[in-house]
Structure 1
Amino acid sequence: MTEAPQLAIGIDIGGTGMKAGIVDLATGSLVSDRVRIPTPEGATPPDVLATARELIVLLGDQAKDLPIGVCFPASVKNGVTLSAANVSDEWIGLEANKLFSDALGRDIHFVNDADAAGLAELKFGVAKDQPGLSIMTTLGTGIGSAFLFDGKLVPNTELGHLIWKNKSIELYASASARERADISWAKWTKRLQKFYSHVEMLFTPDLFIVGGGVSKNPEKFLPGIKTNAPIVVAQHQNNAGIIGAASLVLG
C-alpha cells in the first residue's frame, strides 16, 4: 500500500491577482486546478483575508483541513510584514501570520512572494543542486527577487527597489511598466538589460532565473538579455509562488 502524498495549499498574493492551488509536496506539482481572483482594490488586510477564504472554497473539498503556505509582496520576518509593495500600507508592521491563522482557522506559513518562487525552484526546479549564487527574479506588477546560495534561501532581498533615476527600478523595468508605457517587447528588453547588468555588477551570480507572469513568453524578451551568468526561465513559471508557499509546510 503506497503512502498518500503529503498535500498543502499554496496561496500567492500579488498586486493584481490572488492565486491558489493544492500542491503535492513530494513532487512540487499542482494536484488541483489553479484558481485565481483579482486582488481587491486597495488590498487592505480584511479584503485580502476575505479573498483568501474565497480561494480556499474554490479549491473544493480536497482543500479541507490542509495546511496553508502564503506568499505576499512584502518583506516578512517572523511572520510580520515589514513593508508593502502594491498593497495597502496597513500591512506594514502587521502580524500577518497570526492574522491569517486566526482568520482561516489552521496553521499558516508566511513568506515574501519572490522568496516563495525561489524556494519552488530550489526544491523542485532549475535551482535544485545548483552551486553558488542563483538569483531568482519575478517580473510582474513589480520586480521581486530571491537569493539562493548553495541550496539555502537568503530571505528578503528587494532588487526591484534598486534606485534608477531617483525611483525604484521596478517602476521602469517591471512587466507592468511595459504595459503602462505601451512600449514594444524590444524596448522593454533594453530596460531589462539595464536591470540585469546592474545586478550582475553588484552580485556576480552563477545563475539568473526569470519568473513571474511574463515567464510564459520568454521568446519575446529573453534572447535579448546578455549576461555573463546563464539566464533561464523558472521551471514552474507563474505557479512558482503557489508551489514555494506550499513547500514552507515542509519546514
Structure 2
Amino acid sequence: MAHKAVGIDIGGTGIKGAIVDVSTGKLLSDRVKLPTPEGGEPQDIVDTVGKVITKLGGLKKKEPIGVCFPAVVVKGTTLSAANVSKNWIGLDAAKLFQRSFDADIRFVNDADAAGYAETLFGAAEKRKGLVIMTTLGTGIGTALIYNGVLIPNAELGHLELDGVDYETKAAYSAKERENLSWTDWAARLQKYYGALEKYFHPDLFIVGGGVSKEYEDFLPLLKLSVPIVPATLRNNAGILGAAALAAGR
C-alpha cells in the first residue's frame, strides 16, 4: 500500500486536489481548487486536473491518483454524468487519465469517495456493520460501507416513494426550490430515511452535503431507530476518499 496519494475531486463548478497521507487522513499540501472548464468536456477536465497537479508540485514516482467524479463508475468507465458533458457517458475515464499522467489511476463515484473517507477518518471511524452515507444537495448521493468495505455505486437517492424518484422531493434543492421550512423538509427526510432503515437496517446514517453544516436545524426532527449524524470531513471528504482508494487503503 502506498502511504501517499493525490486526491482529486471533480465537480460541476470546481476541481479540487491535494496530496494526502492515507494512513492518517491528513493533507500534506495546501488544497488547490480551479474552476471546472465550461461545458465539462473530458479532455478539458483532464487538462485542468493537470494544472491542479502542477500547482501541487507535480507527481512523485509511484504516487497514485484517486479521482472522484459525479457519475456511476464501473471498472474505470463512467456510465453517467451529472453537471458535466454527456461525452463522459460510456467513456473509459481511467484510461483517458492514464494517457496523460504516468501514475496508477483510481476513478470512483464522488459519494462513494466521501462515504469511504468518513469511515476511515471521520464520523464513522472504527464503526462496524453497515454505514450508509447520504449527501443532500442538488440530488441525493449515497454510499454503502460494510465493515470498512465499500459497496460501490449505490444509487439510493433514486428510491421511488409516493410514485416519484424521491430525491426530487427530499434533496436540499427541493427545500430551496419549494421554500420549505426545516420542519416540512424534515418530514420528507423522515420518509426517505425511514425507507432506507426498513430496507437495509443499517447501523449508522451519515449526512453530508453543504447543508450538513446546519444539521441542528433538521436532524433532531427525525425519529429513527438508527443513529444519524453529520459528516465531519466537509469539503475534503472526496479528496481523502479518492486518495485512500487509489493507495489501496
TM (normalized to structure 1)? Answer: 0.87
- Does 108-117 or 157-166 show the bigger shift? 157-166
Instruction: Note if contact 1:215-1:238 (Cα within 8 Å) is conserved in structure 2.
Output: no
Aligned to 2:190: 193
Q: What amino acid is the match of 2:36?
A: T
Change (3 A) 1:200 1:246: same
- Matching residue of 2:205: 208
Question: Deviation digits for residues 188-226 of structure 1, max 9, x if unmatched?
Answer: 333322221221121111110112222223223222222
Contact 2:5 2:247 in 1 (8 A): no
Q: Which amino acid aligns with 1:161?
A: H
Deviation at 1:231, TM superposition (A): 0.4
**After the TM superposition, which parts of structure 1 deviate over 4 Å for at least 4 consecutive aligned residues?**
164-167
What count of residue pairs does the alignment treat as equivalent? 245
217, 220, 230: which one aligns with 1:233: 230
Q: Which whole-Å CA distance do the structure 1 matches of 2:85 and 2:159 have between them?
A: 21
Give 1:64's aligned residue: 59
CA drift of 1:115 comes to 1.0
Distance 1:188 1:209, change over 3 A: same
2:176 is matched by which residue type in structure 1?
E
Counting only pairs closer than 5 Å after superposition, residues 1-251 of structure 1 correspond to structure 2 as 6-59=3-56, 61=57, 63-65=58-60, 66-164=63-161, 166-251=163-248
Report the CA distance between 1:118 and its aligned residue.
1.6
Q: What CA distance in whole angstroms lies between the structure 1 residues aligned with 2:104 and 2:245?
A: 11
User: Identity of counterpart residues, as a percentage?
Assistant: 58
Give distance in 2, aligned partners of 1:27 and 1:10: 14
In the TM superposition, residue 22 of structure 1 has moved relative to its aligned partner by 1.8
CA distance in 1, matches of 2:145, 2:245: 15
For residues 142 and 127 of structure 2, the distance between their equivalents in structure 1, rounded to whole angstroms, comes to: 17
Secondary structure of residue in 2 paired with 1:210: strand
Contact 2:3–2:247 at 8 Å: present in 1 too?
no
Structure 2 residues not aligned, in runs of 5+: none
**1:105–1:209 distance in 2 versus 1, CA, 3 Å:** same
**Structure 1 segments unaligned to the other structure (5+ residues):** none
Which SS does the other structure have where 1:235 is aligned?
A: coil
Distance in 2 of aligned mates of 1:18 and 1:175: 22
Q: Could you say if the C-alpha distance between residues 38 and 182 of structure 1 is closer, same or farther in structure 2, counting changes exceeding 3 Å?
A: farther
1:149 to partner: Cα distance: 1.1
